[in-house]
Every structure is written in C-alpha cells, then in structure tokens.
Chains A and B, each alone.
Chain A
Amino acid sequence: MHIPDTDHVVRHVNRKKLRTDECGNVLGILPQALELKPNEEYLSVNWLEYFDGDQKTRLRKTKSAMSADRTLGPTSVLSIGNVANIKSLCSSHGTNVRIAYVPEPPNNPAHSAIYHLHSEELELLDMLASSVFTEFEQIRNIS
C-alpha cells in the first residue's frame, strides 16, 4: 500500500548521524542517516499519520512503536519528511522511489519503507537530509 503524498514518514536517526556544529549543537541529519546498511532492501521509516491525534501525540506513539524492538538513545531524533517532497526531489534526480506501508506487527504497526533509494547517490541523500527531513524532535523531548 502506498502512503498518501500529503502524509509524512519518520526516520529515527541516532546521535552518530546527526549534523552538528563544533559545539555539538544539532543542526539536522547527515546524509549517512539515509544510507542503507548492508543487506537492507529499503530504508526503514514509520508512517506518521498511521496514528491518530496531533503531531505531538503521533510522535509519542511513533517513539513507542519504534522503541519496542530497538534502542532509541535520548539524544537521537525522529526526523520527519513529507512523502510528496521525498518523491519529488528523488524524481528530479532521476530516482523513482516507492514509499510503501510495510507493517511489522505486533510491535511496529506503522512501519514503512522507502524503496530504490541508493546509498551511492550521495548528493541526493544530502539534499534529502538538508531540505526534506528538516523537522526533527529529540527522543528525550517526546513524552
């Protein structure tokens, strides 16, 4: 199932892949935060609007779902990107991504995937990181 273009996906980014300044202030996420790990078929994200409520509530439920099977460090972030913007930017770079709802019950019913995003397209990942996934919230601030 495709996620509507008007909706958003959430990418968890740990502290090591945050863009910071020399003082440690968080400025955003690094392009490496959107790279696939070896043997990964897709970029793992969560569908924000799967959950009802306002943004704060949705982020809280997203955090709960993600933390069921992985560690979410307190200074890591949930980074939010609009589906239409992701697809548009990728398309302009000749990459047609597919953003699909791929639930992982019972722990993460909102799990989703971005297919066909290639780690060697570093300029595209940099643009996604800096111009699409620009909204983020630190885990310790989500309650």
Chain B
Amino acid sequence: MSTLSNACLDLLQPINAEEQASGGDFASNVTHLWGPQKDTYIREELKKLIPSKSPASFDIPDTESLSECLFDASASVKIALSRVSMHMERSWRDTLFHQIDLLHDVDEWEEGDKPINKDSFSAFIKGIILINPKRLPGLGLSSNGNIIAAWTNGSNRLTAEFLPNIHVKWVLSRCINGETERASGIIPIARLPECLAPYKPEIWFQQS
C-alpha cells in the first residue's frame, strides 16, 4: 500500500483507548464508513485544516500586501499537506512545498492571477491519494487558482486540473502500440483511476 494511503490509515487510528471508546474521535467516526462516506469525511477533515477564507478570495491592493497574501496562501496549503504527508517520504513533501512556493513567487506574479484555491488543493490531495503515483507531477496553477498536475514521459502526457467542486478536468496523449490516443474529460475525482486505467497510466506514475 502506498505511503499516502498509509498516511490516511494513520489518520484513522484512534489516538488512545479512551477516544476509541468514546466513539467521537476521527478514527472511530471513519472506520465504519465506506466508500463515498469515508471520502466525504476525510475531505471535511482536510477542510478544517485550512482557514475558512480562501486565499483565492484575497484582495491584493499593493506590492507589500501581495507578498503577504502569497505567503499566506502557500502557507495554508502547506499546513493541509503536512497533515497527510507526515508519513510521506520527506523528499516528496519538500518537493511539493518547493513547487507551491514557486507558484507563489512574487517576482513572477501577474496582474489578475489568483493564488491557489483551497478547495482545488484539497481535490488535488484526494486525487493523489486515489491514483497513488510513484512519481510526483510537475505543478502549475490556472488563472482561477486551480492546481494543475502534469506528468510527462516523452510524448505521453497527462494533465489534470483539479477543480474546487471535487472534479478534475483532464487531458491525455498516450502512445499505445504505435498509435497516439487522445482523450479528455471533466469527471468526479473518485472516477479518475477508472478513467485512466485503459491508458495504462503506469507510463506516467511509475518511476522511470
């Protein structure tokens, strides 16, 4: 099982016997849940980790405030990432932290850009857990502040934009038996592994 899935299971373990007996802790609440219910519960727990005010809604009046706003935006999603990355290889967490910082570099910021959207980031985390890659993607940010994850292996490309409504907009190009197949869609994140399966996604997700 992936380190990320283990991280989620760790979140499900009772902190102590008293909490387990109480029936009110995170682990007790979730261990008896299945499928969409458990997904919803984990998603709600992730939401609690992020300030209610979405970084994407911040006004950015001047340069000094811009630096502060971008710092706040990147810090808030790092906190959320830390919650599920504690059992991740440190290099993975550090790489993601670094990429998040690059996306919020004040020297690269353009008028009209929006910082990372908290709900999009939650969706990204859920997507990563579901597809369980052994390779991290390169990250981008749409004009609306949605996280874009891109895996590239030669001419084989997978680009996934994680939307705030727990959907993902994806497009791929896959060379199979000498033919290039292209596909795209907007789907609930839960269906992402199923939609990618026909295209043998190990080309993107396995270590090269």
Given contacts A70-B111, A123-B183, whether A32 and B140 have CB atoms under 8 Å apart is yes
Q: Mark B72-109, 1 if CB is under 8 A from A, else 0.
A: 00000000000000000000000100110011010111
Closest to A18 in B: B140
Q: Is the CB of B95 within 8 A of A22?
A: yes
B42-84 interface bits toward A, Cβ cutoff 8 Å, 1 = contact, 0 = none: 0000000000000000000000000000000000000000000
Most buried by B among A30, A73, A127: A30
Asked if B150 is at the interface (CB within 8 A of a chain A CB), the reply is yes
Contact (Cβ within 8 A) A122 B184: yes
Kindly specify which of B1-9, B12-20, B122-130, B131-139 makes contact with the partner chain.
Answer: B131-139
The reply to whether the CB of B142 lies closer than 8 angstroms to some CB of chain A is yes
CB contact list, A3-46 vs B, under 8 A: 14-24, 27, 30-32, 35, 37
- Give the residue of B108, B138, B183 whose beta carbon is less than 8 angstroms from that of A20: B138
Q: Complex formed: what's the CA distance from A117 to B157 in Å? A: 21
Which of chain A's residues has its CB closest to B96's CB? Answer: A22
Would you call B136 and A71 a contact (CB within 8 A)?
A: no
Determine whether A74 belongs to the interface, using a CB cutoff of 8 Å to chain B.
yes
27 A-B pairs with C-beta separation under 8 A: A15-B102, A15-B105, A16-B103, A16-B108, A16-B140, A16-B142, A17-B142, A18-B140, A19-B152, A19-B157, A20-B138, A21-B152, A22-B95, A22-B137, A22-B138, A23-B95, A24-B99, A32-B148, A35-B142, A35-B143, A71-B109, A71-B111, A73-B108, A73-B110, A74-B108, A122-B171, A126-B173
A130 within 8 A of B: yes
Instruction: Tell whether A75 is near chain B: CB-to-CB under 8 Å.
Output: yes
Q: Which residues of B contact A125 (CB under 8 A)?
A: 171
Q: A14 and B137: CB pair below 8 A? A: no
Asked if A123 meets B171 with Cβ closer than 8 Å, knowing A20-B138, A24-B98, A30-B140, the reply is yes
Cβ of A76 < 8 Å from any Cβ of B? Answer: yes
- Complex partner residue of B157 from A24, A76, A130, CB under 8 angstroms: A130
Not counting A22-B135, A30-B159, a sample of 20 additional A-B residue pairs whose C-beta atoms are within 8 angstroms of each other reads: A14-B108, A14-B113, A15-B102, A17-B142, A19-B138, A19-B140, A19-B152, A21-B138, A22-B138, A30-B150, A31-B171, A37-B112, A71-B109, A71-B111, A73-B109, A73-B110, A74-B107, A123-B183, A126-B173, A127-B182
